[in-house]
Amino acid sequence: MMQEKIIILFDGVCNLCNGLIQFIIPRDPKGIFVFAPLQSETAKSILKEKSDLNPHQMDSVVVFSNGKVFQKSRAAMEIFNQLNYPWKLLILGKFFPLSFTDWIYDFVGRHRYKWFGKQEQCMIPRPEIMSRFLK
């Protein structure tokens, strides 16, 4: 049985978010993750179809996995849960209260452009990984 793809919607102009995608791809040899920048029409369509989230108010990583939607710190933990060790250990954050882990997520999120920078446009995937990005 083929595993259902896990969709990751991310801020396509954020260097930290793009770094996360570049981190995931080589650690996902089975190709279970597929990606779309939040700024894309594809992401807006996915958000409307699979959730009640407002696509025009999204500034968080959103993960769709096994019929569930995850945001903020829980989205990150769902991603790491799918990776091999040692990265899977990062899900230990789920033992902290959601309010605490989301506070950390929001704190980093508020400063992500200042700390990590921002692109003028969404990244253009290299040809060898283009098939991992939703159109």
pLDDT 10s digits, 76-129: 999 998 888 888 877 777 889 999 999 999 999 999 989 998 887 777 777 777
Instruction: Retrieve residue 101's tokens.
Output: 């882990």
How far CA 7 is from CA of 74, 108, 110, 111, in Å, comes to 14, 22, 23, 25
pLDDT in tens, 36-53: 999 899 999 999 888 888
Do β-strands 33-37 and 6-10 pair in parallel, antiparallel, or remain unpaired? Answer: parallel
Instruction: Retrieve residue 42's tokens.
Output: 């594809």
- 3-state secondary structure at position 40: coil
Distance of CA 22 to the CA centre of its chain: 11
pTM score, whole prediction:
0.88
Read off the DSSP letter of residue 53: -
User: Using CB atoms within 10 A of its CB, is residue 115 exposed (0-12), middle (13-18) or buried (19+)?
Assistant: exposed
pLDDT band at 2 (very low <50, low <70, confident <90, very high): low
> How many CB atoms lie under 10 A from the CB of residue 50?
15
Instruction: Retrieve residue 58's tokens.
Output: 């999204």
